[in-house]
Structure formats: structure tokens, C-alpha cells
Amino acid sequence: MKKLALTALTTAICSLSIAVALVAPSVAQQPTVSPAAAPAAKPAAGINPQAQLIEQLKITKDQQAKLAKLELTVRKKNISVLTPSQKEQLIAANKQGKPPSFTLTDEQQKKLKAIYISALAQQEAILTPEQKQKLQDFNRQYAPKP
């Protein structure tokens, strides 16, 4: 159960990271697609849904800076919840491109959930209503199915 909660929380945090990925310098150089020209269905094989989202949201430079700051804050808070052993396991898992395999305590789960909820609220405050709607649509379309 706790391992499942870790996976769900990791997935949720990765979802937040999708918006954070919008702050990458290369994003500012990518051409934008008007919402009318953006495909409504799932992209064809080989097309990155995250790249599609980045184009559709049209994040401003100010929003990029705010999202980057939020992402750093969330990472620091998440890591501060982990024990030294868990931190080592997380680093090792990241190097291997795998999810961590440790178990979180109930207290850690509560803290991580609170961090996630706070981060989502802060993300919502950064995005415009139109961007929020597009992000919600994206999450419904591409979120892993239980």
C-alpha cells in the first residue's frame, strides 16, 4: 500500500513537473501552435505529449521564472522529507532512470501530499484560466489509467 502511494505520489509530482518543464530554455525558442491548429486527439507515435502541451500553453517568460522557482522549492521540500538512506536510494534510482523502491512512512506520505497540494495551488496561481483548462484537458487525456 505504501509503495503504491509512493508511486502515485511520484506520478503526481511528475505531473507537476510537466508544467515545470515549460521553463526549459529551449521552450522559449519553440514555435507555438494556435489552439485551433493543435491536434485534439492523442498524438501519433513518436510525438511527445509534453512537447505538445508546452506549445499549447504558451507560457510567458514571467511564468517560466515563477514555475522554475516553484519547481526548485518543491524539490527541496520533497527531499527534506526523506531519510538519508532514502535520499541515497533516490539518487541511485534516478541515475538508473528507475522509480525509487523505498517505502514511505505515514508521516512522510502526509508531508509529501501537503507539499504536492501546496505546489498545485501555487501552480494554479501562476497559470491563466485558459492555461489551467488546457492543462486539465491534457491531464485527463494523458494521465495513467488505474
Residue 5 scores a pLDDT above 60:
no
Residue scoring higher pLDDT (27 or 79): 79
Spell out the domain ranges in the chain: 2-23+46-142
* Rounded distance between C-alpha atoms, residue 22 and residue 90, angstroms: 24
Specify the pTM: 0.63
Q: What is the pLDDT of residues 85-137, one digit of tens each?
A: 999 999 999 999 999 889 999 999 999 999 999 999 999 999 999 999 998 98
Q: pLDDT value at position 2?
A: 47
SS3 128: coil
pLDDT level of residue 49 (50, 70, 90 thresholds): confident
pLDDT of amino acid 65: 92
State how far Cα 49 lies from the chain centre: 13
